A and B are shown apart, each in its own frame.
Chain A
């Protein structure tokens, strides 16, 4: 059960974007659906519809703040769950038959349809995920013995918690979200897995229509607060988006850095970490699409700027010290390290710029500030290489 602080954070997730009236509006919709917030650690549920609560037998406060995996159980197919997680990671729609469990432990099949709800402005990040469930009634279907079983580890102590948490980590890139949920203990006898029922066209259409109507409700109410959402990712003019999986991976890197694209005119910033924005005082919208020179000012050495330019032309890394300026015009000495970043094709895809404010006295668990900051270079290299490995289209959902 969420603490009162957590509960208000969950409520704010909705009201700050869709206004105070959203809960009432969503309550009027008859469909079974959940809304989750990927920005909150654990990717919790922030809303459950009346229809969902009735179908699953849970009360609202039993699901708020929990992760959607609580509805999965011993016979839920692991691969389906992995597909859903990949869709979350890649910020795309997925529609899949899934075995869920009600509060009383009884399993039932649903057609699970999940889609991202994007911020219309800025970098087009995902504001929420919407998950619609269309119950699929039992139909005669073949039972297959040779189907592989899905397995999960149960328990919540020591090693177990780490393993479970890391399963979450695996699919959400580098970094950590604390999954305090415990998993269902596996009976050693094994449950005979059934073939998932094939959803009828009617059921599929129902899912799509439900999703559309909910998203359009969210869109309407988001106009009240001005933090508009829409069902499609909106691209800031002139800056092609990085792949979703890359954005998510980069989001886990905590240091100050920006990623610039040398193939675009004037080598604009295509990604900026939160730490960078804090350091410089700018918002993401203000930096994306612009060349880094806005950080320079009257005191910035032209020689150093030339050094940077020459290194980039030569495709080499460089470390320089230059005077930079924040949005509020205050200045700081920036120990800047720039490095080419190659993708899986082996060619330079980006440059990373890692900024270290000179004079910081803090230590990061024994690491000097330099040691800490420069770790971002390697982390970015790993992220870019990995996310560009599978450049093909994602697997279609079943």
Chain B
């Protein structure tokens, strides 16, 4: 069993340290969402058209409704003092260089508490009701329900609602968590229905600066209760600017989805775009994630361009950390490279790291996160098998030469 020690991020004011303190956790549990349907039904409901056509909600004005709902609520929670710090008071900058990494100095995000042990060699772990999960968040931390219109019956106990809650340790303005079917207490693992919900969130917001992310266990998710994250940052992410090389187009049932590989970027990853319908795109990514989690490969997902472009990054940083293969210099920055960091948005805890942040230092950190060229090629091949695609010989050779550009070829696996 491989574990690392880290201080978990506090995403809810009701989150307690560890399961050791179950008594304290139970005592400190005031009004939570729990199984009380009534509190959930008091939340505003944003119901989107559930089919895979372009939602009619997304008219010229429609783009702004979800954003207005989310931002108004978020701002109101800010004025109520629910966040652990004011994220807009955190300095941030674009690091000079070709990539445009975004660095933020956030000294308040990380608690000065003792680190907890996290198992990093098991991507799929069963849900543990004793640990913190999102049924325990405070009513005031929930913003609204987000569900397909066809399902929007009053909450009567037969259908579990999906909710959007605030992240009390936000990385940026509007940082929220999407909890699909909160009362079903799903563990942190991707399933097709939930991924489609997350994609709908990105699409309904209709804002390319509102990105949705997912971290698997072993890839820096701290809470084993299915959740996606999202926030606004109105500059392009470095990963969005990186060139890609198209590999294949999925035909057949998951039709029209174009799969590409990222080039000239420190973390190797796949890019999924297009698709005849939104469901096709969603399923292609979800199926790939399902393959990875069933084969114990930690990964992160980043949904960009309001759902038009999805990045998938298998990673191995936590494992390397557990095996003692990460340099102390990198460990000292305490950066946990999750979806946002991989995308190029780095939250730094020490002023020294912030002042000295450079494209090189960001690149070096992210290069440690990436699977090696060889390992990535294997994983990619397996994903393609799972999706029913063949990767041509010619394409693999081409990859060989392209991979030589600026990649640290670390070989953990």
Contacts and interface: CB of A to CB of B under 8 A. Distances in A.
Contacts of A158: 52-54, 275-278
Interface in A247-284: 249, 254
A162 B57 CA distance: 13
Contact of A176 (B92, B172, B206, B275): B206
A166 B306 CA distance: 7
Contacts of B264: 148
A382 B63 CA distance: 16
Contacts of B96: 392
Nearest to A374: B72
A67 B91 CA distance: 38
Contacts of A184: none
A342 B75 CA distance: 14
Contacts of B69: 367, 371, 375
B274 to A, nearest CB: 5
Contact of B71 (A151, A169, A375): A375
A287 interface: no
B88 interface: yes
Given A146-B405, A176-B60, A378 B71 contact: yes
Contacts of B90: 346
B243 A149 contact: yes
B52 A365 contact: no
Interface in A312-370: 317, 339, 341-342, 344-347, 364-367, 370
B351 interface: no
Which residue of B79, B102, B203 has the most chain A CB atoms within 10 A of its CB atom?
Answer: B79
Contact of B234 (A178, A249, A365, A371): A249
Contact of A148 (B71, B94, B245): B245
Contacts of B100: 390
Interface string A159-191: 111111011011001111010000000101010
Interface string B265-283: 0000000011111101100
Nearest to A390: B94
Contacts, number: 189
Interface residues of A, number: 63
Given A254-B61, A375-B71, A162 B54 contact: yes
B81 to A, nearest CB: 12
B93 A389 contact: yes
B132 interface: no
B306 A365 contact: no
A385 interface: yes
A395 to B, nearest CB: 9
B75 A378 contact: yes
B7 interface: no
A374 B75 contact: yes
Interface in B320-369: none
A375 B67 contact: yes
Interface string B49-86: 00011100110111111011111101110010000001
Contact of B278 (A159, A346, A379, A391): A159
Interface residues of B, number: 73
**Helix, strand, loop or mixed for chain B's interface?**
mixed
Interface string B228-254: 000011111000110111100100000
Contact of A188 (B207, B246, B309): B246
A25 B54 CA distance: 44
Contact of A346 (B89, B234, B249, B276): B89
Interface in A377-391: 377-379, 381-383, 385-387, 389-391
B380 interface: no
A153 interface: yes
B245 A390 contact: no
A389 B92 contact: yes
A296 interface: no
Given A158-B278, A364-B65, A389-B94, A166 B243 contact: no
Contacts of A370: 72
A377 B71 contact: yes
A151 B245 contact: yes
B183 to A, nearest CB: 24
Contact of A317 (B64, B79, B305): B79
A221 to B, nearest CB: 33
Contacts of A78: 243
A144 to B, nearest CB: 12
A155 interface: yes
A235 interface: no
16 contacts: A149-B243, A158-B52, A162-B203, A162-B308, A166-B305, A166-B308, A169-B207, A174-B63, A174-B209, A175-B63, A344-B92, A344-B93, A345-B91, A378-B74, A382-B234, A387-B234
